[in-house]
Amino acid sequence: MKMRSVLWMAVMLLLSCSAGIRASSVAKKNCPEKCGDVTVPYPFGFGKPECAKNDSFLLKCEQNGSLFFSNIQIYNISLENGTFTAGNIPSPYKCYDQSGLAAGSLYWSLNLTRWPPFTISSTYNKFIGLGCDTVAYMFVNEGQRFTSGCVALCYDPEAIKNYGACSGYGCCQTTIPENLKTLNITLTSFYNHSDIWKFNPCSYAFVVANSYDYSEINLQDYPTERPSTQAVIEWVFEGPNYCQESEPCGPNAICDNSPTGGGSRCHCPPGFIGNPYLQQGCQDIDECQDQNPCQEGACRNTIGNYTCDCPLGMRGDGKVGCRGLRLPITIAIVIGGVILVIIITILIFIVCQRRKKEKYFRDNGGMILKHQRIRIFSETELVKATNNYDNSQFLGEGGFGSVYKGVLADNTLVAVKKAKDVDKARMNQEFQHEIGIVSQVNHKNVVKLLGLCLETKVPLLVYEFVSNGTLHHHIHDKRSQILGSWKNRLRIATETALALDYLHSLADPPIIHGDVKSMNILLDDHYTAKVSDFGASVLISPNQTGIGSKIQGTFGYLDPEYLMTGNLTAKSDVYSFGVVLVELLTGEKPTSSSRDGEKRNIIQYFISSVEDNQIVQVLNFEPADDDEMEEVEAVAGLVKRCLNGSGLKRPTMKVVAEELARLKKLSDNFWAQQGNEETECLLGESSSHTSYEISSINMDQMDTYTVHTTFDIERGSTVSI
């Protein structure tokens, strides 16, 4: 009886220990963990300064059970997402009467710069404007300028109830930039609600959590006062070296960079539970303790997981069942010994392979790169994605590597660049060079580097997959229809020029591509041009005009001055781009004979045709009208300047891009005007239109996005963004 009592007490003690782990406090020792209904996990705290990580995480609990950060009420704190929900956030509103006089506040500002760990979440929030005559802006000024917004319009009070989506009719929405610490919101109105004030006199704008439900909004009954909303604030531990500090997280916890950047967080891996910021850290969950999860066999807890071992002589996954007969003990021992030898051999092989991969990872700079924002892929992941680099996945090859199509586990399409099986030392040097170049680039018309694999002797580069092949293919494949119109040819030329101008003028430091050709210009799903392959590119300082290097590139596209002097300059890219434009206009390869078989230099023949005003003779397409022919002649003249034998006499890439952009804008305006005239003829009546523009400018990337909002004043029927 005594023995049975002792065993029973031991079992109860183990169960209580397990329950203690699961129900352990999320707050620091001797600190409260509840304020009203809100759980306050460390690094947050209240009551005493030592209950929080630092002053930024110290909260205030009111006597009524309300939790506050500064003057903002907190409703929920999530360790997993690194967020807290903030309520009672005021927002701007403006209500008008029949005379057009307004009451309310047109401006609102949220400033978190006093609290370095906190940012306004772009993942869990959205920006919303409400009203039937509402223009809502948001803007920041934190070393860069950013402005964006949306427009909400409506004319029929009954129709508002039938629109469930916030798509511009009575309600508009847009996304919020990442890593914002300040946000300013302002409101304006086109007509001061003069035509609609009876059923909708007010405009509203606010930042609100994604869970906000606007499907039940009735703008006729919406309050004529400042609405109060809830938004989500993200928090991190600031500083790029937080994860390198001495034990920043508790035992078994993982420290990594926040997905949105700006700092780091701790979290418990699968199979563990607890607060990763506390001294006790993450505790292993003993899955075998509470109940046996195995269908058959013995449950054996492992760190972070568990296994189910089948009896000797039986096989299978004990989690779902075991198969076979139980063997006599002697036979089982012999078989077990053989199996053990095989397992040891396999383990030795796996350990050797793992050590080799770890060595390659370190040699390729993995210890530094793994803490950067670039994604690190495993070799196994890319082998599976490319079906072990099967020939069916082969896309093409350049001077330094072959490219394969791949599909990641999340169905993302990628292009994997793998070194050729040649001099490994040289390949490693070339790939390191390409990584250094492409990591400087962030432009919508340049192929994006998604990540690296560092577990091979030569790193593998993983790029975004560009689905519609190369410009070279569409020029020379007669079945392709995309280049059938001059408008598409001009657009592709303009997008390519903008990318090269970005490399020359806006990248830091500037980049000379060095191998501009139609094979290195890819077209995506929407046939948008993207410049690729930076294996021959070089970085230069802003005050440099060129750099001496060994001759690299593709015959036919190379700058003759570069061939003679070995001095690569930005004007070398201009010449190569001029050759691409000749190819785009004539359909001829720069190294091919003319269409009648006569041996002649297509570049010189093109220049002669321009000088003799006979450009129409070398075109491989027919301009639609005289206006298009004038645009073609203007581009041909620009090409002639790009192909000047002297680099000093060639235009810069900025001049080329600006001229092509100007011609493209003229072409777009012409087609838009044609479309409007056709519409007016079909309607049989003229309409009065007013156009408004809201621009969003990001000074880091120097890309400009313009939102055009056009509506018919008389008919009140058209809204297009």
* Binding-site annotation, residues: 418
Question: 577, 516 in Cβ contact below 8 A?
Answer: yes
Neighbour count for residue 186 (Cβ, 10 Å): 18
Q: Which helix (H) or strand (E) holds 466?
A: none
Question: 697, 710 in Cβ contact below 8 A?
Answer: no
Active site residues: 515
Helix/strand/coil for 176: coil
Residue type, 262: G
First to last CA, the chain: 82
What is the Cα–Cα distance from 706 to 698, expressed in whole angstroms?
A: 12
What is the Cα–Cα distance from 636 to 628, expressed in whole angstroms?
A: 12
Tokens (6 digits) for 495: 């997008």
CA distances from 196 to 36, 95, 154, 204 (A): 44, 11, 9, 15
Residue 53: phi and psi, rounded to 5, are -60, -45
Residue type, 584: L
Question: How many Cα atoms sit within 13 Å of 602 on the Cβ side?
Answer: 24
What is the Cα–Cα distance from 577 to 546, expressed in whole angstroms?
A: 17
SS (H, E, C) 534-548: CCCCEECCCCCCEEE
| Contact residues for 562 (Cβ-Cβ < 8 A; gap 6+) | 551, 553, 568, 569, 572, 575
Q: Which of 96, 104, 85, 89 is nearest to 38 (CA)?
A: 85
What is the Cα–Cα distance from 73 to 52, expressed in whole angstroms?
A: 17
Annotated binding site for ATP: 418
Q: Which of 221, 172, 219, 187 is nearest to 104 (CA)?
A: 187
